[in-house]
Amino acid sequence: MPELSLREIDIICRDVQGQDITFSHLCDELADHICCDVEHEMQRGGTTFAEAYAAVRRRMGSQRRLREIQEETLYAVDTKYRKMKTTMKVAGIAGTILFGFASMFKIMHWPMAGVLMTLGAFTLAFVFLPAALAVLWKESRSRRRILLLISAFFAAMFFIVGILFKVQHWPGSSVLITLGAVVAILLLIPSLLQNSLVSGERRAGKMVYVVGALALVLCLAGFLFKIMHWPLAGFFITFGLLALFGVAFPWYIIATSRNDTFVRAENIFLVIGSLAILIPAALVTANISRSYDAAYYRNIASEMVINQYLAGTNARLLAAAGDSATADRLNEIHRMALKVYEQVPASLANPGGEYPPSQWRTGLGNALSAYRDFLTVNYPDLIARGFGDILNTDRWLPAGGEFTEGMSHEAVSHALLVMKNGLLRTENEILKVVAEAN
């Protein structure tokens, strides 16, 4: 039987070690088994080492087969690994099911949506992810993958918990989502790109991985900017999706399938995974758009009609009393009311605009307080009749910065329109009382 040279044995050992075989003695045993198979193939077919080694690798199947053997070995002999992998599988299935049903309950406005989402998110973030990290480290123990594993763990945990906090309107959601996006953009995607470029199989070429990584960075940046109501969110999302699904995705599929005579399973899962992200997002967006068209914008239009009517009524009262003895008092009341109206940013007066700086609510609250103090001193009877409650900022917008956490731009716009109508109605009453008293 032909015997392999030391150089040929070293080639096989390096290939086995390159598959991240970390289990004690398994690497040597696999290398020895492959060497024996190659020698047998060389004797049976009278082939060279390169031909025999290629035939043995074809019989073994995919390059991942050696890692699958290690996983099977670990599962058979390592009790802790077996328990951890079982925990990972159970937690992953349970958390995904809980999160999925919670999303459906939330969309349909059914009860228990918050409980299901909280259980699902905490199961995924604090049971599934730690177990998955432990299993992956046990299987690889590769120092070049430490950054990839740790950054993936923290990015996923921050995103899951941040989305939960955002949906539940809990404080701190913006901080968690920002941390997740920063970890993903600065650590996870670069380390994933590096591992893809140095991996043994690069059939698609380096550039497709680079383009895909840049597209993911743009998409994540757009997602973060959209949630935080920062400018350029639409730009990042548009170009990120175009680069991802218009360039990187087809380029990768064509490059990896060019010489295949059959459809690869990973390409099928890649297509299904992309559709699983895009189609639900598009359907939810379309459903939300229909809801706005059917109810929200119609209500906004009604409020604006009332707003214009009340503003016109007050203008006519001021014009009618232009030459009377009460003109100065009426104009003073109107000037105090205008100071309140001027504190409402123009971008929030119309749905769909960008969020202004967060300090605007403080200015609005101060103007309302000054207006209320003015009325309390000069027209206490009106305050006693309940009009003072209209001048309470907290009645319309949550105190502090909670409105940015728990209220959408549209909700803030609607609250401000209703508040302005109340203020116009209050001004109307005061103007009529003053005009009639004299």
Q: What local confidence, expressed as pLDDT, does residue 200 receive?
A: 47
Number of Cα atoms under 13 Å in the Cβ half of residue 325: 3
Residue 288 CA: distances (Å) to CA of 281, 284, 293, 301, 410: 11, 6, 9, 18, 12
The alpha carbon of residue 353 and the mean position of all alpha carbons in its chain are separated, in whole angstroms, by 21
In one-letter notation, the amino acid at residue 88 is: M
Residue 117 CA: distances (Å) to CA of 233, 278, 316, 404: 27, 21, 54, 21
Q: What is the pTM of this model?
A: 0.57
In one-letter notation, the amino acid at residue 392 is: N
Cα–Cα dist 213/207, whole Å = 10
Q: Which residue, 100, 103, 102, is CA-closest to 92?
A: 100
**309-364 pLDDT per residue, tens:** 888 988 888 888 777 778 888 888 888 888 887 876 665 555 544 455 556 667 77
User: What residue segments make up the domains of the chain, in order of their start?
Assistant: 6-67, 78-256, 291-437
CB 117 within 8 A of CB 164: yes
Question: Crossing angle of helices 146-168/189-198, nearest 10°?
Answer: 150
What rounded mean pLDDT belongs to the chain?
Answer: 76
Count of residues in the chain: 438
CB 23 within 8 A of CB 71: no
CB 148 within 8 A of CB 187: no
| Phi, psi values for residue 402, rounded to 5° | -65, -25
Q: What local confidence, expressed as pLDDT, does residue 149 receive?
A: 87
Cα–Cα dist 253/267, whole Å = 7
CB 318 within 8 A of CB 331: yes
92 torsion bin: left (phi>0), alpha (psi -120 to 50), beta (else): alpha
Q: What local confidence, expressed as pLDDT, does residue 157 receive?
A: 93
Cα–Cα dist 184/181, whole Å = 5
142 torsion bin: left (phi>0), alpha (psi -120 to 50), beta (else): beta
Residue stretches of the chain with pLDDT short of 70: 1-2, 17-29, 32-33, 60-79, 81, 139-143, 199-205, 229, 258-270, 272-273, 275-297, 344-361, 382-410, 437-438
In one-letter notation, the amino acid at residue 357 is: P
- Dihedral of the alpha carbons of 249, 185, 224, 400, in degrees to the nearest 10: 170
Q: What is the DSSP string of 295-333?
A: IIHHHHHHHHHHHHHHHHHHHHHHHHTTTSTTHHHHHHH
Alpha helical stretches, state H, 46-78? 49-60, 65-77
